[in-house]
Chain A
């Protein structure tokens, strides 16, 4: 197992050369591992944010689907502030105004808006899968680095033990 791993060379993303792990000393390996840990943490955070965005879009889509043309004239409570609601009547449930980003809002039919939310959910899900894949790659590399580190530590200890045995 050690033989296979000692030949492991990592080809990173464009711009970096292949690195043979066993050629690095313990300190460089530790630094490398720390860098990987930071990356992994960042990917975890990103995944959480994406998940949040995904559930928000999903919620919007679900709420929208409950508001169809039957609900014309239905009684609703309209929030004026965080704690004050005002009774009102739902008009024109066929059209909604959707926030598309950077301060722009577009009036869409319920059907188009539903399409919009479905598209967004799909987009976010795709990105989540991409981040997940990259995260897994990095986790694998981190495992490799830790194995090489362990091998080196063992080698170092046995060297020290030999030296101590010889000198005593």
Chain B
């Protein structure tokens, strides 16, 4: 039955699309979690730097060497990193919301086609 074949092909395509959206969603989710933990770490570093007095030396690990840094410079760098990560985090969260919607749409579409297929299979020839 031609209609049957077309519907089955559509069903397969929609199933694949759902899989792709789910994969993208998982990847974005794990990116978001990484960013979250980086944000936390940087926040803690900032707290410690704030606690450090002006005369305590600050070093940064650059490759295998500890290089002395200016306290204020270090604070500024960490703050910049924090605002960058916060921006990226918000971007990922917006993407996630979007992908969630796309996933639902893909799922609905797949179910619609499935229902059509079932109707066809039950209809007498």
Asked if B74 is an interface residue, CB under 8 A from chain A, the answer is yes
For A108, give the chain B residue with the smallest CB separation: B56
Choose from B48, B57, B62, B69 the contact partner of A100 (Cβ within 8 Å).
B48
Contacts of A67 in B (CB 8 A): none
* B45 in contact with A107 (CB, 8 Å): no
Contacts of A112 in B (CB 8 A): 56
A102 to B42, CA, bound (A): 7
* B59 in contact with A97 (CB, 8 Å): yes
Asked if A101 is an interface residue, CB under 8 A from chain B, the answer is yes
* A106 in contact with B66 (CB, 8 Å): no
Contacts of B57 in A (CB 8 A): 97, 106-107
Q: Is the interface of A mostly helix, strand, loop or mixed?
A: strand
In chain A, residues 67-124, which have Cβ atoms closer than 8 Å to a Cβ of chain B? 97, 100-108, 112, 116
Interface bin, chain A: 10 to 19
Task: Check A107/B59 contact, CB under 8 A, given A102-B41, A102-B78.
Answer: yes
A101 to B52, CA, bound (A): 14
Please give 18 more A-B residue pairs, beta carbons under 8 A apart, in addition to A100-B45, A101-B45, A104-B69. A97-B57, A97-B66, A100-B44, A100-B49, A101-B41, A101-B44, A102-B45, A103-B60, A104-B45, A104-B48, A104-B60, A104-B74, A105-B59, A105-B66, A106-B49, A106-B57, A107-B59, A108-B52
Task: Check A106/B52 contact, CB under 8 A, given A100-B44, A101-B41, A101-B45.
Answer: yes
* A103 in contact with B61 (CB, 8 Å): yes
